[in-house]
Structure 1
Amino acid sequence: MVFHGKPSKACAECRQRRTKCDLSKPSCSQCIRANRTCPGYREGLIIHDESEALWAKFSSGTGQKKDGSPPRTVSLTRDAESTSFFSYSINDSRLDRDLEPKSWVSSLISTPAISAEDQATSFFFGNYVAGREMRDTCGNYQYLSAIYANQPVGIPLRQAIAAVGLAGLANFWKAPSIMAQANNAYCTALRLINTGLGNIEEAKSDQTVVAILLLGLYETNTTNGARSMKSWTEHILGATALIQLRGKKSLSSYLGRNIFVHLRNGVIASCVQRHSAVPKSIYELTKFAMQYETPVEKASTNLGLIVTEYTALRSSMSSLEDLKDLRNLVASLWDLDIKYLNWAQNLPPEMLVTPVPAPPASRGKEVWGEDYHLYNSIYIAGIWNNYRCARILNNELLRQQVSSLLHWGSPLNPHEMQTEQGAISYENILHIAISTISSLANDIFASVPFFLSTTTQDAPRALAGNLVLWPLYLAAKTTTATTNVQIWAAGRLGFIANTIGIRNAAPPYAGYAKEVELVGAEAGSGMEEAL
C-alpha cells in the first residue's frame, strides 16, 4: 500500500482555484460568493491502483524509469579545497529552480533507516517551506527549494535546518532527548559558520546568510523572554552585515532577492522592537530591488518603507524637550497614519480581503466575532497583518503623545492641529486613534482562522503559526482589547504552542493561569515597551 498524503478536504472548485474552502454544507462560502455550484466534498480515503507502477518497478533490472530518465541520486563528496567541508548534491535531469520540496521530502519519508538529520529536514520543509501558492513571492523560506535544486548544500546550512527541524519535533513530542540533538546541530552550525566567516567569499554566500537566519529562527522556537529576543537580534545583525558586503549585485537574481527580502523584514521588525532606525544601507538596497518586484512584492516593500519612516521617528523621541516638539511629533505620526491608510486603499486586486460569515458553532472558539477573513495566500495575509501591526503601533504612540499633550498643555492653545484635510482638534485625534486601534485589532482576530485552519491550501503549519503569532499577541495587548478577547487569544496562542510546537507562543498562553495577562518574548513586558 502506498500513502499519497492526506487529500485536501476542500471542494473541487476551491482546489482548482487554490482558495481556502470553509467546508460549509451544502455549499461552501467561496462557491456561494462566486455564484457557482459547489460540487461537494470528496471522501477522506482514496484508493489508487498501483499494480502497473509496481510491475514496472520490479520488471526493470536497471532501475531506470519507464520514460528512460536517470534515477535520482544523492552523492556525498569532499570539497577539494577543504579537508573539513562536505557537501551533497541532488542529481536529477528533471530538477530545476522551481523544485517542489514535497517531491523529494516524500522520498525521504519512504526510505528505510532514515537518519535524524533527514527526518529533521523533512519536518522543516513540510512545516516551513511553502508550496505552489507562495513560489513566486519573496520573504519566506520557499527559496530553499532553489538552493537544494541548484547548489551543493554545505554542512552549516544542513545543520541549521536540522536544528530547526529537530527543535520542532522535540517541541511537538515534548522530548528532551531530541531537543539535545537539536542543540548539538545548532552548535555545529554556529561553529562552522564562525569558521567560514574568515573567507570573504564564503561569508557572502547565499548559504551562509540563510544559515544565520535559520539560527535566529531556532532561537525563536526554542527559547523565550529576553534571551530569545537578544539572540534573534544578534543573528539578524550578523546577517545584515553580510548583506551589506554582498551589495546590489546579489539582488539581480531570484534567489538573492528572496534572501534579501527575508532579511530586510527581520531587520525592520528588530528596529521596531529596539526603537532604532533602519540602516541606510538596507533602505538603499530596498529601493534598488524594487525594479525586479511583482505588484504584490512592491506593495509589501512600500509598506516596509513606511515602517522605516516610523522607526526613524521613534528613534528620535529621546530628544523631545517641550510642547512644541510634542506637537511636531503628533503631526508626524498623523501624517504617517495617512500614509498607511493610502497604502491599504491602493493595493493590487489579488490582495483584496474576503470577509466570510462564521458558522455559529465556531464563534468564540476557532473564530472571534461574527466573521473571518479569506486571502489568496498566507503570504498576502501576512502582509495585511504586518500593515495592521505597524499601524497599531503608530496609533498607540499617537494616542500616548496626544494624551500627554492634553495633560501637560492644559489649557492647550492652540487646541487643534492643521492638516491637509483641515483643522482637527486633539481630542478628535485621540478618539480616531483609539477607534483605529480597535478596528485593526479586530481585523487581526478575523485573520487567525485562515492561518490556523487545517484546510488552508499549501500552508505549512509552523510557517503559518510564526506569521500570526506576533500579530495575535499585539492585537490582544492593545488598549481596546477586552478580557474576553484576551482569553480567546490565549487559547489560540496555546494551540500554536501545544499543537504546532512553537515555544515562543507558550509564555503568553501560560500567563493566563491566574489572570488575563500576556507576557511574551516578542514585545518585552507589554505594549508600552513595544512602542
Structure 2
Amino acid sequence: MLLWYFTGNPARLVQNAGGGGQDVIYQSHHARNVSEQTVHVLDTEKSWLSTTSLRLSLSSMLAELSSRKMGLHRQKKLPAAAVNSTSAFGISINTPRLDRNIDRQDWIPQMILAPSTSVEDQATCFFFGNYISGTEMLNTCGNYQYVYAIYANQTVGIPLRQAVTAIGLAGLANFWSAPNIMAKANGAYCSALRLVNSGLGNIEEAKSDQALVAIILLGLYEINTSSGRRSMKSWTEHILGATALVQLRGKDSLSSPLGRNIFVHLRNGIVRIPILEILVVDSENIQIASCIQRHTAVPNSITELTKISLQYESPVEAASTKLGLLITKHAALRASMKEPQDYENTPSIIRSLQALDQEYLEWTHALPPEFISTQVPVSEGARSKDAYGTHYLQYSSIWIASIWNNYRCARILANELLLSHLSHSRNNIPEIDQQPYENILDTTITTLHTLSNDIFNTVPFFLSTDTNEAPRALAGNLTLWPLYLASQTSGVLDDVRRWARERLRYIANTMGIRQAEPMVERLTEALDSEVRVLGDSVAEVSMKEAL
C-alpha cells in the first residue's frame, strides 16, 4: 500500500510505503476563502472503491494550534475531573434529559467549574455531558462510550482532543448564541483536521483508535454546525474516510473491546443516518444503508467484518449486527433493480419485498429481553407538545431505542417501495386479478402506519422524559432522522406532521443541531402544499428534498 497525505503545501505530497493494495491520497484545495481537504481512496482490487472521493470541508481557514499544554495523564477512571485538563471541573455523566420549557442557558449540563476553567475545558465537559451515555452503558457498544475509555486509559493526542473541543465549543456557541465561541470551534475543527491529515503519513498512527475516532467526531461536528446539503455531504465524506481506515485496520482491530466498540458505532452510524438520506456524492460509497438509496450493493469486505465482529458481541450487540446484515440484504435487492420504478419486474420485486419484510419481522421475534419496551402514560399537559398521543414507549437505554428505530426506518423504506409497486400493479391489471394485490396493499398500509406511530412514540423517551440516562445532544442526534422519515411516511396525518415539525424545530433551535433546520422547512412546505409528491416513495422524495 502507498499512503499519501497532505503536508501543508498543496503542491507537495509525501509517499510512505506499506503493505496492501490501497492508496489514500490527501490533497488541498481552496475556493472562496474556504479550505477543503480531498481524499481519494483507490483500490486496485475492488471497483466499488475505485472512484471514492472524500471531501472534508472546512468552515474557515486552518487555525494555528494553541500553545497551551493540556497535561496528558493516564487514568483508570474519569470521575469528577476530565483527563488532560489544566483546571479542575466536575461533570455528571448521568445528566437529566431535557426538561420542558427549558431556557438555553439552563440546558447546559451542570458543571462544577473553577474560576480559571478554560473555555476548552468547558467544551470537553459539554461533550462528555451530552454525548457519553450513562455509566451503566460504558461497556456497551453503539454510541460514544469509547471516547470515555480512551480518555480514561490512554494518553490522548492533540487531534482527538481538538475534535472533542470543537464539538463542545459548537454546542456552547449554539446555546449561548456566541459567534466568538463558534469561531473557536471552527478553529479547533480545522486544527483537528490538519493534524489528522498529517498523522496519516504514519501507517501505524493511521490505524490507531484515536485517528479513527477523531474522523468520526469531525463528521459529528458537521451535523451539528451545518444545515442542508453540505452538512449531510460532509458527514458522509468523513464517514467514508473513517470506513477506509476501518478496512486498513482489518479484522485484528475487532478483537479488542475498544476497537470493536468503535467499529460497532461506525457501523451503526452507517445504518442509522444514511438509510434516511439520498446521498449527494457522485462517487460509489461503501456505507451499508446508504446503498439502499443509491441502489448499490454493500461491499463484501464490510459485510465480512460485520460477521467477524459477531463472535465477540453480547446478545444485545449481536441483535444490532444482525439487523445490519438484514439491511445489507435490503441494499442488494435495491441494487438489483434498474430503478425504483422498475415496473417490468414488479411481480418478482413484490415477492422479494414481502420476503424481506417477513425477515425484518422475524428479527423482532428473537431479541434479548433488553429490547422490551413499556408504555408510559402521557399527562394531558404534555400531549400534542412533547408527545402525540396518550402514551410513549420507554426502553432500557437510548441505544436500544435507536436500534428499534433503525429497524423501523429500514422497514418503512421497504414497505414504501412495496406500496409503490402494488399501486402500479393494481392500476395496470384487470379488475378480476386485483384482489391478491388489494390484500397485500392493505397489509402494507397498516404496517407503515404502525411503524411511523412507533417512531413518534419514542420521541418523548429521547427528548422530554424525566429519567436521567440519556445524554441530551446525543438523544437529539438519534431522534432526528427517524422522526423526519416517519413524518413523511405515506398516510401520516397533517396534524401529526405539524407536531413532528415542532419537535424538529426544538432539536434545531434548543438543542442546536442545525441539520434539523431544512427538515423543518421541508415539512412546512409540504404542509402548505395541497399536492403530495409520489416518486420513489413519499418518504424518499421528501428526504431527498430536505437534503
- Shorter-chain TM-score bucket reads 0.7 to 0.9
Which residue does 1:448 correspond to in 2? 459
Work out whether residues 408 and 452 of structure 2, in 8 Å CA contact, stay in contact via their aligned partners in 1: yes
Which residue does 1:526 correspond to in 2? 542
Write out per-residue CA displacement over residues 153-178 of structure 1, whole angstroms, 9 at most, x where no aligned residue.
11111111111111111111222221
Q: Does 1:165 align with 2:168?
A: yes
1:106 paired residue among 90, 104, 116: 90
Q: Does 1:139 align with 2:142?
A: yes
1:130 paired residue among 130, 133, 157: 133
One-letter amino acid matched to 2:90:
S
Q: Which residues of structure 2 form unaligned runs of 5+?
A: 1-66, 84-88, 92-110, 275-286, 530-538
Work out whether residues 159 and 196 of structure 2, in 8 Å CA contact, stay in contact via their aligned partners in 1: yes
Tell me the SS of whatever aligns to 2:457: helix
Tell me the SS of whatever aligns to 1:106: strand
1:89 paired residue among 49, 69, 72: 72
Which residue does 2:205 correspond to in 1? 202
Change (3 A) 1:324 1:290: same
The Cα shift of 1:152 comes to 0.8
Work out whether residues 128 and 461 of structure 1, in 8 Å CA contact, stay in contact via their aligned partners in 2: yes
State how far apart, in whole Å, the 1-side matches of 2:257 and 2:68 are: 26
The Cα shift of 1:455 comes to 2.0
Tell me the SS of whatever aligns to 1:293: coil
2:196 paired residue among 193, 197, 207: 193
Which residue does 1:411 correspond to in 2? 430
Which residue does 1:486 correspond to in 2? 497
Work out whether residues 267 and 278 of structure 1, in 8 Å CA contact, stay in contact via their aligned partners in 2: no
Q: Does 1:180 align with 2:183?
A: yes
The Cα shift of 1:524 comes to 7.6
Change (3 A) 1:404 1:319: same
One-letter amino acid matched to 1:449:
P
Change (3 A) 1:314 1:85: farther
Work out whether residues 101 and 125 of structure 1, in 8 Å CA contact, stay in contact via their aligned partners in 2: no
State how far apart, in whole Å, the 1-side matches of 2:503 and 2:399 are: 20
Work out whether residues 171 and 503 of structure 1, in 8 Å CA contact, stay in contact via their aligned partners in 2: no
Larger Rg: 1
The Cα shift of 1:253 comes to 0.7
One-letter amino acid matched to 1:377:
S
Which residue does 1:325 correspond to in 2? 345
Q: Does 1:220 align with 2:223?
A: yes
The Cα shift of 1:457 comes to 2.2
State how far apart, in whole Å, the 1-side matches of 2:464 and 2:322 are: 29
2:151 paired residue among 123, 148, 152: 148
The Cα shift of 1:205 comes to 0.5
Write out per-residue CA displacement over residues 109-138 of structure 1, whole angstroms, 9 at most, x where no aligned residue.
433322222111111111011122322321
Q: Does 1:460 align with 2:458?
A: no
The Cα shift of 1:405 comes to 2.6
CA RMSD of aligned residues (A): 2.7
Aligned residue-pair number: 431
Change (3 A) 1:87 1:439: same
Write out per-residue CA displacement over residues 458-513 of structure 1, whole angstroms, 9 at most, x where no aligned residue.
21100111111111111111111111001111111121112221111122234566
The Cα shift of 1:333 comes to 1.0
Change (3 A) 1:112 1:163: same
State how far apart, in whole Å, the 1-side matches of 2:411 and 2:251 are: 30
Which residue does 2:118 correspond to in 1? 115
Task: State TM-score, norm by structure 1.
Answer: 0.76
The Cα shift of 1:454 comes to 5.1
State how far apart, in whole Å, the 2-side matches of 1:438 and 1:155 are: 48
Q: Does 1:255 align with 2:258?
A: yes
State how far apart, in whole Å, the 2-side matches of 1:470 and 1:321 are: 24
State how far apart, in whole Å, the 1-side matches of 2:234 and 2:153 are: 31
Describe how 1:277-288 pairs up with structure 2 within 5 A. 277-288=297-308
Work out whether residues 334 and 340 of structure 2, in 8 Å CA contact, stay in contact via their aligned partners in 1: no
Which residue does 1:393 correspond to in 2? 413
2:316 paired residue among 289, 296, 304: 296
Work out whether residues 164 and 217 of structure 1, in 8 Å CA contact, stay in contact via their aligned partners in 2: yes
Work out whether residues 353 and 414 of structure 2, in 8 Å CA contact, stay in contact via their aligned partners in 1: yes
Work out whether residues 102 and 125 of structure 1, in 8 Å CA contact, stay in contact via their aligned partners in 2: no
Tell me the SS of whatever aligns to 2:116: coil
Which residue does 1:373 correspond to in 2? 393
Work out whether residues 100 and 145 of structure 1, in 8 Å CA contact, stay in contact via their aligned partners in 2: no
Tell me the SS of whatever aligns to 1:465: helix
One-letter amino acid matched to 2:455:
I
State how far apart, in whole Å, the 1-side matches of 2:81 and 2:406 are: 28
State how far apart, in whole Å, the 2-side matches of 1:162 and 1:257 are: 24
Tell me the SS of whatever aligns to 1:480: coil
Write out per-residue CA displacement over residues 183-215 of structure 1, whole angstroms, 9 at most, x where no aligned residue.
111111111111111111111100000000001
Tell me the SS of whatever aligns to 2:73: strand
Change (3 A) 1:174 1:524: farther
Q: Does 1:361 align with 2:388?
A: no
Q: Percent identity?
A: 58
Work out whether residues 156 and 193 of structure 1, in 8 Å CA contact, stay in contact via their aligned partners in 2: yes
State how far apart, in whole Å, the 2-side matches of 1:102 and 1:493 are: 33
State how far apart, in whole Å, the 1-side matches of 2:341 and 2:451 are: 32
Q: Does 1:266 align with 2:269?
A: yes
Change (3 A) 1:129 1:338: same
One-letter amino acid matched to 2:391:
D
State how far apart, in whole Å, the 1-side matches of 2:161 and 2:345 are: 51
One-letter amino acid matched to 2:462:
F
Describe how 1:328-339 pairs up with structure 2 within 5 A. 328-339=348-359
One-letter amino acid matched to 1:439:
T
Change (3 A) 1:413 1:154: farther
One-letter amino acid matched to 2:542:
G
State how far apart, in whole Å, the 1-side matches of 2:540 and 2:185 are: 26
Work out whether residues 501 and 520 of structure 2, in 8 Å CA contact, stay in contact via their aligned partners in 1: yes
Which residue does 1:476 correspond to in 2? 487
Change (3 A) 1:473 1:371: same
The Cα shift of 1:102 comes to 7.1
Work out whether residues 343 and 421 of structure 2, in 8 Å CA contact, stay in contact via their aligned partners in 1: no
Which residue does 1:31 correspond to in 2? none
Tell me the SS of whatever aligns to 1:325: helix
State how far apart, in whole Å, the 2-side matches of 1:289 and 1:500 are: 34
The Cα shift of 1:411 comes to 2.7
Write out per-residue CA displacement over residues 387-431 of structure 1, whole angstroms, 9 at most, x where no aligned residue.
111111111111112222333x42389757xxxxxxxx1221122
Write out per-residue CA displacement over residues 203-237 of structure 1, whole angstroms, 9 at most, x where no aligned residue.
11000000000011011111111111111111111
Change (3 A) 1:321 1:137: closer
The Cα shift of 1:347 comes to 1.1
Change (3 A) 1:287 1:297: same
Tell me the SS of whatever aligns to 1:278: coil
Tell me the SS of whatever aligns to 1:365: coil
One-letter amino acid matched to 1:284:
E
Which residue does 2:448 correspond to in 1? 437
Change (3 A) 1:101 1:439: farther
Task: State TM-score, norm by structure 2.
Answer: 0.74
The Cα shift of 1:339 comes to 0.6
